[in-house]
Amino acid sequence: MDTASDFDQLEQETSSWWYLARRSLLREFVSESLVGKREARILDMGGTAELEFDGPSPFRLVNQHSRLRDAAFQQVHGVANLVCSAPDELAFASNKFDLIVAGDFLQSVTDDRVALRELLRVLKDGGLLCLTVPAYAFLWGEEDERRGHYRRYRTSELRRKLTTSGFEVQRASYFVTAPFLPLVMLRMAQSIVRTTIASNGRFTRHTRTANAAMKLLLDGERQALHHINLPFGTVVVCWARKPPLVAERVTVPAWEQQWASPRLTWSGS
């Protein structure tokens, strides 16, 4: 493993417009979910939200990574509370976290259903989850292969997998709508010429101007998500929760209540 090259790639990724837009989206979810809470435990899968709290905080944050390379990169940048474990066997006790943010991690695990069940296990009853994944199988490209992805999703598929894993899906929408058409055209061109600018295995670098423009555009999309679901995009974002435990209510038939009443008396003939 070339550590210097890997760290340079991660530096480029964490300054890209998509990373910045996703971080803002997940941070907003955490901020809104913590309103009125006096304490909470938060799990950041992959450290993609880069959550920080000013001064002493009642909110306890854990940054989970599945690769030592990523954990080392975060440690170099001063991130604390780092844990490295397999996504299908998280190193946490059950019912531990109030919130989980998972930015672009689910598509990189072999069995996404097992990973979702693990997230459900470590989430407290009534706890919230926000995750993002790449959208549409027909947008699959060499960048997906280079990053070790296994799949892309539609909103309906992600909803179904979350539901069958035990979550209650509150909302699912597409995101990054603006670059959708250009990316579709690029994929069509790639299917013809079978080559890409990423074929040399290097991370695509974006200029500061392009990053700033895309970040501004996606900030507008993020504000729109407060009011509507976007009909298409290159990313799926989903909000879900773990159902709270509900005490089983036993309905006693009326005739049984009558016979069980202590005030019921017999009148002799």
> Is domain 3-243 given the CATH code 3.40.50.150 in the classification?
yes
**In angstroms, rounded to a whole number, what is the distance separating the alpha carbons of residues 123 and 57?**
20
Q: What is the mean pLDDT of the chain?
A: 82
Tell me the per-residue pLDDT of 19-77, one tens digit each, with 9 for 90 and over: 888 989 999 999 999 998 889 999 999 877 777 665 556 788 898 988 888 888 878 87
pLDDT at 137 over 90: yes
Average pLDDT estimate for 195-203: 43
Q: Identify whether the C-beta of residue 133 lies closer than 8 Å to the C-beta of residue 72.
A: no
Angle at 64 between CA 16 and CA 162, to 5 degrees: 90
The pLDDT of residue 128 is: 97
Q: Which amino acid is present at 127?
A: G
Residues paired with 62 in a beta bridge: 43
Q: Identify whether the C-beta of residue 230 lies closer than 8 Å to the C-beta of residue 174.
A: yes
Residue 55 structure tokens: 């001064």
Domain boundaries, the chain: 3-243
Burial zone of 56 (CB within 10 Å; 0-12 exposed, 13-18 middle, 19+ buried): exposed
The pLDDT of residue 151 is: 96
Rounded to 10 degrees, the C-alpha dihedral 130/71/206/140 comes to -60
**DSSP code, position 153:** B
97 band by pLDDT with thresholds 50, 70 and 90? very high
Residue 163 structure tokens: 């539901």
**DSSP characters over 170-230:** EEEEEE--TTHHHHHHHHHHHHHH---TTTTSPPPP--HHHHHHHHHHHHHHHHHTTT--B
pLDDT at 100 over 90: yes
- Ranges of H-type helices in 41-89: 68-76
pLDDT at 79 over 90: no
